């Protein structure tokens, strides 16, 4: 075994062994991927701010201390639960393809897809950032504190400096090619080319100034004027230039959508609708699993691992065929979640044999044609489940005034069609790429909030979120235990078992059931909160730098 892989497996083992008890608090709770982000959120809650206020402060801080995963150059999806009205508002801040984008933009001269690294570190991968416009809209509707106040902790930290956290140090060590971007090299590498190490202090005065402008003048200063012009110039003059324009930035609008909700045992689970595939996939898997009563199983038994993988196999087959931006593709949401349709699909599942390769079903109503997560609850019982991203670690690797631009357009299909049929998630001007982000709220049958959870991790977000929900709801694990439990993931490839955990010992038994199995390191990224009695319990994935705290 290569030393690097052995080190990664040992790191996972140590992380899982460091699982801390869930944090309990009577009124407020925040869970996010870095302690400074949690503290920024809690500071807003102490000042009388709402869950949305706290989420904005935490997101701004994540852009400083976790720049490889999220920031103002990216996008996100936010679910808000109103404790007074028991209603859910859904905010879509997903990046959009520029007007100059084309279905063939990720193909080379021979019509073959570009290599992933070529596509990512480029101007063509940059979508119109959406997170700031989305957060400003959510703040207008649910904020209590002044917009400028929410930026204060992040501005101070960017100006005064912070200690390099373990995860940022790890990614800097893995990606020496980042030094090719002068602004990134100056900030995160030494003069001799070596990366900044864990514990070294970094300040980002350019980002502090950028956030000061946004705090004082609003999100509009990001989408129009000198800052917008600089983003456009960097993208259009990259060695592999994109088409981002001033009109694209000025014309971006966040979208309010309806949550996708469905029953699961005694709860109602609500998630993000298209263009995210997360809400549909999580609900499909839970519905497929419910009659198998895995709540009677010991956590992570062979039978439960097998059934979770098989149900996920069916959900991902449908995801790849049907889910894309609903402004461009008619997504049969009701059909995909129809009990009759899922009962039919469930017939393909066997408790003792894998179904093997499977295609999508035909749901009723169908007509042929680096990420981070935070969960927050405030004193009024309002809650936020917010997944935020710039896509790959360090996004497009293009830095503008201290922040990184996303590479979200690589979430589109590189191929515009297969066998003469247009792919739902192909690139089109103004379209929002399909996502796996799965911010989730769980309610009881009286519509009281039970839990808020979500994860980072690309297409594995769905499996992570699903596993956390099953851990909390079916196996009655604490939040921390549910988020730390070993992972089984079934996306578009083999059944994945997390290396260095007891699940890996089940590999041969799963193969005997017909599974293709891969044992791999898993990086996680969950953050969750759930109701316990009259208070809250919170936790964060031990595989990352996150924590949960409450008051």
Helical H segments across 109-198, by residue range: 116-120, 131-142, 152-160, 166-174, 182-188
- 117's tokens: 């690294």
Q: What are phi and psi of 116, to 5 degrees?
A: -60, -45
The CA distance from 521 to 498, in Å, is: 6
Burial pattern 123-158, b for ≥16 Cβ within 10 A else e, equals bbbbbbbbbbbbbbbbbeebbbbebebbbbbbbebb
- CB-based burial of residue 462 (10 Å sphere; 0-12 exposed, 13-18 middle, 19+ buried)? buried
- 3-state helix/strand/coil string of 446-495: CCCEEEEEECCCHHHHHHHHHHHHHHHHHCCCCHHHHHHCCCEEECCCCE
Q: Is the dihedral of CA 387, 391, 396, 397 positive or negative?
A: positive
Best CA proximity match to 19, nearest among 369, 370, 484: 484
Q: What angle do CA 392, 88, 451 make, to 5 degrees?
A: 70
The CA distance from 542 to 524, in Å, is: 8
* β-bridge pairing 517-520 and 495-498: parallel
The CB density around residue 486, as the number of other CB atoms within 10 Å, is 20
The CA distance from 409 to 125, in Å, is: 5
Is 371 assigned a catalytic role?
Answer: yes
Contacts for 449 with CB less than 8 Å, ≥ 6 apart: 81, 83, 377, 381, 383, 441, 442, 443, 531
Q: Residues 510, 305: contact at Cβ < 8 Å?
A: yes
Choice among 371, 410, 440, 465 that is catalytic: 371
Look at the chain and count its residues.
551
Show which residues are catalytic.
Answer: 371
């Amino acid at each position: 075994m290569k030393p690097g892989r052995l080190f990664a497996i040992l790191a996972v083992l140590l992380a899982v062994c460091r699982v801390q008890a869930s944090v309990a608090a009577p009124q407020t709770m925040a869970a996010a991927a870095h302690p400074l982000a949690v503290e920024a959120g809690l500071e807003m809650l102490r000042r009388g701010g709402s869950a949305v206020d706290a989420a904005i402060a935490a997101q701004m801080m994540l852009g400083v201390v976790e720049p490889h995963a999220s920031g103002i150059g990216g996008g996100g999806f936010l679910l808000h639960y109103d404790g007074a009205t028991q209603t859910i508002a859904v905010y879509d801040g997903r990046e959009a393809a520029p007007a100059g984008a084309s279905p063939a933009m990720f193909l080379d001269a021979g019509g073959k897809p570009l290599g992933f690294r070529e596509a990512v570190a480029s101007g063509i991968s940059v979508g119109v950032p959406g997170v700031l416009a989305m957060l400003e809209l959510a703040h207008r509707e649910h904020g209590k504190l002044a917009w400028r106040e929410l930026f204060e902790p992040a501005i101070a930290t960017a100006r005064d400096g912070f200690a390099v956290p373990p995860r940022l140090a790890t990614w800097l060590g893995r990606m020496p090619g980042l030094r090719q971007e002068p602004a990134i090299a100056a900030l995160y590498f030494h003069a001799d080319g070596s990366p900044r190490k864990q514990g070294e202090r970094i300040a980002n005065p350019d980002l502090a100034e950028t956030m000061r402008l946004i705090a004082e003048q609003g999100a509009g200063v990001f989408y129009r004027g000198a800052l917008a012009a600089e983003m456009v110039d960097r993208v259009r003059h990259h060695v592999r230039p994109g088409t981002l324009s001033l009109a694209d930035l000025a014309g971006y609008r966040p979208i309010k959508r309806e949550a996708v909700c469905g029953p699961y045992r005694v709860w109602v689970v609500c998630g993000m609708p298209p263009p995210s595939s997360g809400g549909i996939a999580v609900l499909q898997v839970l519905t497929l699993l419910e009659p198998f009563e895995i709540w009677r199983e010991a956590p992570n038994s062979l039978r439960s691992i097998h059934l979770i993988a098989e149900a996920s196999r069916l959900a991902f087959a449908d995801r790849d065929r049907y889910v894309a931006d609903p402004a461009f593709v008619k997504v049969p949401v009701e059909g995909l979640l129809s009990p009759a349709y899922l009962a039919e699909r469930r017939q393909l599942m066997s408790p003792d044999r894998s179904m093997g390769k499977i295609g999508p079903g035909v749901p009723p109503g169908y007509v042929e044609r680096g990420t981070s997560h935070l969960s927050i609850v405030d004193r009024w019982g309002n809650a936020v489940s917010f997944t935020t991203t710039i896509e790959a670690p360090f996004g497009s690797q293009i830095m503008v005034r201290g922040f990184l631009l996303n590479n979200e357009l690589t979430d589109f299909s590189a191929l515009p069609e297969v066998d003469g049929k247009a792919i739902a998630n192909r690139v089109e001007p103004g379209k929002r790429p399909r996502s796996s982000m799965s911010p989730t709220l769980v309610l009881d049958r009286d519509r009281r909030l039970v839990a808020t959870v979500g994860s980072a991790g690309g297409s594995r977000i769905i499996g992570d979120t699903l596993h956390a929900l099953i851990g909390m709801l079916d196996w009655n694990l604490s939040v921390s235990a549910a988020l730390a439990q070993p992972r089984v993931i079934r996306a578009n490839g083999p059944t994945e078992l997390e290396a260095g955990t007891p699940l890996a010992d089940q590999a041969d038994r799963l193969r005997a059931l017909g599974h293709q199995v891969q044992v791999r390191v898993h990086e996680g990224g969950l953050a969750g909160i759930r109701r316990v009695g009259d208070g809250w319990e919170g936790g964060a994935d031990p595989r990352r730098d996150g924590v949960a705290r409450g008051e």
